[in-house]
Amino acid sequence: MLYRLDGAAQAVARLFGAEAGNDPWSGGHAAPGQFAPVITAGREAVAGPRPRERTPRRMIPRLWGVPPPPSVQEQRGILTVRNLDSPFWIGNLRNSEFRCLVPATAFMEGGRPSPADGKRRQCWFACTDQPVFAMAAVWKDSEIPSFALLSCPANAALKAEGRDTMPVILPPDPAAQEIWLRGGWDRAKGLVAPYSSSLMTLRS
C-alpha cells in the first residue's frame, strides 16, 4: 500500500485544526519506511496526568512503520494494525493519547491482474465526500517516532479488486476525529469499520 497527501503541511493542518510547526511536508507520495505528517492530540511530549485544559492538535513527521517487538526476527516496520486485541497494540489503542490521524488524498492498493499482461494494476482510491480524509492510526516511540495505520475488512469497491482489507477512513464529521483522538476506546473502536464504497472513487 501507498498513499498520497497532496498539499503542504501548513494547509493540511488548518483543515484539521492542528498546528503544523516546522513540518517540512510539501505534498506527494507516502511510502513505508518514510516520514509523513501525523496529527496527534498534542500530548506526546507531555509527561504526567492529563491536564484539565485541552492541548492543541499537532502535526508532526513520523516514520510509517513501527519497529516490531524484539522477539520477532523480521525487523521491517509494522505498517498496519490488524488485530485490535494484540498485546503489542492494545495499550496504544485504549490510551487515546497514542491514537492519531494520518491525512491523505488517496491510497493505492494492487488490483486484480490485467487480462492483457497478468500484471497487477495500481488502483488509487479517493473519497468523493472529502478531498482530504483522515485515516485512523496509532503512534509509538522507541528508537524512532513512528506510526501504523489501522486496517479493517474491505468494502465492496476493494473486494472487487481482490482485496481483503482496507485502511480505516474516518467520516468527515469533526466529532468522529475528536473521538478517535480523545475518546474512550469503547467509543473509538466503533469507528474501525469499512468506508462506504458509494463514497469512494477509483482511479487506475
Question: pLDDT by residue (tens digit) across 42-78?
Answer: 866 554 555 566 789 999 999 999 999 887 877 789 9
Question: pLDDT by residue (tens digit) across 98-154?
Answer: 999 999 999 999 988 877 777 888 999 999 999 999 999 999 987 789 999 999 999
Question: pLDDT by residue (tens digit) across 167-202?
Answer: 999 999 999 999 999 999 999 999 999 999 999 999
Cβ pair 128, 101 in contact under 8 A:
no
Residue 42 vs residue 93, higher pLDDT? 93
d(CA 179, CA 186): 10
Q: Is the pLDDT of residue 36 over 80?
A: yes
Cβ pair 170, 133 in contact under 8 A:
yes
d(CA 68, CA 79): 10
Kind plus residue range of the DSSP H or E element containing 117: none
Three-state DSSP at 168 gives: coil
No. of H helices and E strands in the chain? 5, 13
* Cα dihedral 119, 32, 81, 168 in deg (nearest 10): -70
pLDDT at 69: 84
Cβ pair 2, 107 in contact under 8 A:
yes
**Domains in the chain, CATH or no CATH each:** 2-43+56-203 (3.90.1680.10)
pLDDT at 75: 76
d(CA 175, CA 37): 21
| Mean pLDDT within 8-25 | 96
| Mean pLDDT within 76-98 | 95
pLDDT at 114: 78
pLDDT at 49: 54
| Mean pLDDT within 156-162 | 95
d(CA 48, CA 34): 30
* Residues of the chain by 3-state class (helix, strand, coil), percent to 5: 20, 35, 45
Three-state DSSP at 197 gives: helix
Distance of CA 79 to the CA centre of its chain: 10
Q: What b-and-e string marks burial along 137-148, b requiring 16 or more CB atoms within 10 Å of the CB?
A: bbbbeeeeebbb
